Amino acid sequence: MNGFVWIDIVLFTILAATAVGLARTRQLFAAAMLSGLFSLTSACIFVLQDAVDVAFTEAAVGAGMTTVLFLGTLALTRSREKVTPPRRSIPAALIAIFTGGVLIYASTDMPPFAAADTPVQQHPLTQRFLDDSMTEIGVPNVVTSVLASYRGYDTLGETVVVFTAAIAVLMLLGRGRPATSAEPKPREALPQPIQHDQRVLRVVSKLMLPFILLFALYVQFHGDYGPGGGFQAGVIFASGLILYALVFGLDAARAAVSPAALRRMVPLGVLIYAGVGFATLLLGGAFLDYNVLDAHDPAHGQHLGILLVELGVGITVTAAMLMLFYSFAARGVGR
């Protein structure tokens, strides 16, 4: 047994303990924190399995963004879970145990972990992605090749999922249009910027902010070469701005990035992605066939296509995440 197995065992133990704690606690703030911990631990496990891109996303979305949204929701509700009578949770417990049992049953015939001769390893699919993606697409990060080109249509779908979520939240929480200027704003209710004596927090946040945003851009445009891409970049960019909103107040953040701009950016990203698809159709190729984007050099066309669709993903994810946060925060204001 090598050291990695021990690390795995420790991480999985933490994961299981977190899950139990999460299920048992009635303190919803603690639950939000534990779910962040759960995501972070999962991210560590993904890193150990060499799935760095996935780990990146899990850490950014699961541990970062989701926790912020949970906290935003908790600001609107009570922080203690209503007590469910034990007899009502028995069926749920039975279902959970049964599902777990089926998963264990399923795992008994799974190919051994990390074996070299699993069906996945031996399928021509994996072979082709690993061997030929460099010549066919020319992007060193195979994950990006698969995500943005081979299975680019799925990624378009996932972007639309994010878009749908943003639309749904806007429809439920947002006012359809931004409040007209004539309408008086409930001044006192807006979340107050953190008090002036929090000087350390303000100074350090201001100092860090440019680097966070720069890092987001790096993740966005370096996704071809290393782990990263539009999803992660969008979340990081949004979390930078959310930090700004938390420290300097919602008004300041709205002045920097207005809700109206976000409402345009969310569909814009999807439009860019789908637009690339239609452009390739018009250029005589199949939907999302980036090769036709450059008539002389297909690999260059692939580069261009991936750059554009990742940009679309980044724009939609950034705007959607910020919009979710704004909607929750502004809702908290009304109360």
Per CB under 8 A, contacts with another protein among 84-113 are 102-103, 105-111
Residue indicated by tokens 């004539």: 182
Instruction: Please say whether the beta carbons of 239 and 60 come within 8 A.
Output: yes
Residues 15-44, interacting with another protein (CB under 8 A): 27, 29-30
User: Which residue in the set 278, 295, 297, 334 belongs to the binding site for another protein (CB under 8 A)?
Assistant: 278
320: contact with another protein by CB under 8 A: no
Nearer to another protein, 58 or 289 (CB): 289
List the interface residues with another protein, window 212-231 (CB under 8 A). none
- Of 13, 84, 122, 192, the one binding another protein (CB under 8 A) is 122
Q: Which residues pair with 176 in a beta bridge?
A: none
Taking CA atoms, 112 is separated from 10, 100, 120, in Å, by 20, 19, 11
Which residues from 158-177 bind another protein, rule CB under 8 A? 158, 160-161, 163-165, 167-168, 170-172, 175-177
Of residues 185 and 264, the one with the C-beta less far from another protein: 264
Task: Give the SS3 label for residue 27.
Answer: strand
Closest to 315 in 3D by CA, of 254, 256, 229, 247: 229
| Rounded Cα–Cα distance for residues 330 and 190 (Å) | 7
SS (H, E, C) 104-130: HHHHCCCCCCCCCCCHHHHCHHHHHHH
Number of residues that bind another protein (CB under 8 A): 74
Q: Which is nearer to another protein, 30 or 134 (CB)?
A: 30
CB 12 → another protein: shortest distance, Å? 18
- Of 49, 52, 251, 287, which lies in the binding site for another protein, with binding defined by CB under 8 A? 287
Distance CA 170, CA 177 (A): 10
Here's the x/- map for another protein, 248-277, by CB under 8 A: it reads as: ---------------xx-xxx-xx--xx-x
Map the footprint of another protein across residues 50-79, applying CB under 8 A.
none
Site for another protein, residues 174 to 203, rule: CB under 8 A: 175-177, 195, 197-198, 200-201
Q: What share of the chain is helix, strand, coil (3-state, %, to 5)?
A: 75, 0, 25
Residue 63 corresponds to which tokens in the numbers above?
């541990």
Integer CA distances (angstroms), 229 to 19, 38, 107, 163, in order: 29, 23, 32, 17
User: Between residues 121 and 258, which has the closer beta carbon with respect to another protein?
Assistant: 121
Chain centre to alpha carbon of residue 206: 24
